Structure 1
Amino acid sequence: MIFEIGEKIFRVMKAFREPRIATKDIVKEPAHKSPIFRGRHVVKYEICTGCDACNKICPVDAIKMKPLPIKRPNKVPEVNLAICIFCGLCEDVCPTKPEKAIKLAGGDIEMITDGTNNALDNFWVRVEIPQEWIEKKKKEEEEKAAKRKAKQEALLKGAANTMGKDEK
């Protein structure tokens, strides 16, 4: 027992006399890489249907849906990488085919911050949708509504003509 205590004291004294040099720079190289890391998220608003399936299946609630001023898609996903566990369930459940609207598409795992709350905003995958795209979608919706209305009026007019002929 005295020998074990002496050995521990010797190791501590040796550590103080000969400090070890760090062999890895964690700023340039991550301490470890997860074997299940599939990459950072990429959200393609052009093909997203706004179905909310990715938000519902996320086990850690890292996905929030950003509302849009159009009917379809009426919302798109935004991912908080500070919470995300990079499991890929959001990509797996996405119904768009052949390409997925939300995808884990490579990238690095390093997310170093200075610890402030403002720095955590850098860990969001935010969707920047151009105003031209929104205007184009609104115009398409208006055209579809006008066609639908014209079709309904034609059906009503045809039904009224048919009823008028039946009475004669």
Structure 2
Amino acid sequence: MLFQISEKIVRVMKAFTEPRIATKDIVKEPAHKSPIFRGRHEIKYELCIGCDACNKICPVDAIVMKPLPIKKPKIIPEVNLAICIFCGLCEDVCPTKPEKAIKLSGGDIEMITGGTHKDLDNFWVRVDVPEEWIEQKKREEEEKARKKKEMMAKKKAEAEAKKKAEEKAKAEATEAKKEESAEQKNASAEKGEEK
């Protein structure tokens, strides 16, 4: 028992006299690297279709859908890296082809924070959608709606013209039947007079 106590005292004295030097600087190099880490998220707003599949599949609800003032895409994903587990399911489920709208870029990510709520707000992958792009999409939607309206008016006019043509043909057919029956009556009346 006395031997164990003296051994502990010697270890403590060594710790005071010979301080250990840190082997890694965590500011410059991450403390550990996961072999399955797939990287930080990259979101391409021009490819996104706003299907919400990435948000639905996220196991930790790290993805929030940001609304846009256009019809397609109506929403676009933003990722909270503070709670993301970097599993990559969002990239796997993304339906856009050949390139994914949300993907993990690979490499390493350093997530060092001062510990305040404001610092945690920096761990978001936010999408900065340019106003010019939104205006262009709105113009495209308006043009598409105008063309659709023109097509519907054209189809309606064609349907009305077809209906009028059918009614006219039907009226002509009934008129021809009336004339034919009148001729048959006249012919039968003439035959009756001959007898």
TM-score, normalized by the shorter chain, greater than 0.5: yes
Deviation at 1:29, TM superposition (A): 1.1
Give the alignment's TM-score, normalised by structure 2. Answer: 0.83
Deviation at 1:107, TM superposition (A): 4.1
Residue in 2 that maps onto 1:88? 88
Structure 1, residues 92-136: CA drift from partner, whole Å, max 9, x if none? 000000000001012432111111111112111000011000000
Residue in 2 that maps onto 1:167? 167
Deviation at 1:17, TM superposition (A): 2.0
Is 1:138 equivalent to 2:141 in the alignment? no
Is 1:122 equivalent to 2:122 in the alignment? yes
Is 1:153 equivalent to 2:132 in the alignment? no
CA contact (8 A) 1:33 1:109 kept: no
Structure 1 residues not aligned, in runs of 5+ = none
Q: Read off the aligned partner of 2:100 and give its amino acid letter.
A: K
* Matches of 1:38 and 1:167, distance apart in 2: 69
* Matches of 2:15 and 2:55, distance apart in 1: 50
Deviation at 1:18, TM superposition (A): 1.5
Q: Read off the aligned partner of 2:109 and give its amino acid letter.
A: I
Residue in 2 that maps onto 1:102? 102
Give the alignment's TM-score, normalised by structure 1. Answer: 0.95
Q: Read off the aligned partner of 1:109 and give its amino acid letter.
A: I
* Matches of 2:8 and 2:50, distance apart in 1: 62
Deviation at 1:67, TM superposition (A): 0.3
Q: Which moved more, 1:1-10 or 1:45-54?
A: 1-10
Q: Secondary structure, in 3 states, of the residue corresponding to 1:97?
A: coil
* Matches of 1:56 and 1:47, distance apart in 2: 18
CA contact (8 A) 1:42 1:103 kept: yes
Residue in 1 that maps onto 2:63? 63
* Matches of 2:154 and 2:118, distance apart in 1: 57
Q: Read off the aligned partner of 1:40 and give its amino acid letter.
A: R
Give me the CA root mean square deviation.
1.1
Identical aligned residues as a percent: 75
Deviation at 1:4, TM superposition (A): 3.0
* Matches of 2:107 and 2:127, distance apart in 1: 17
Q: Secondary structure, in 3 states, of the residue corresponding to 1:122?
A: coil
Residue in 2 that maps onto 1:20? 20
* Matches of 2:148 and 2:33, distance apart in 1: 54
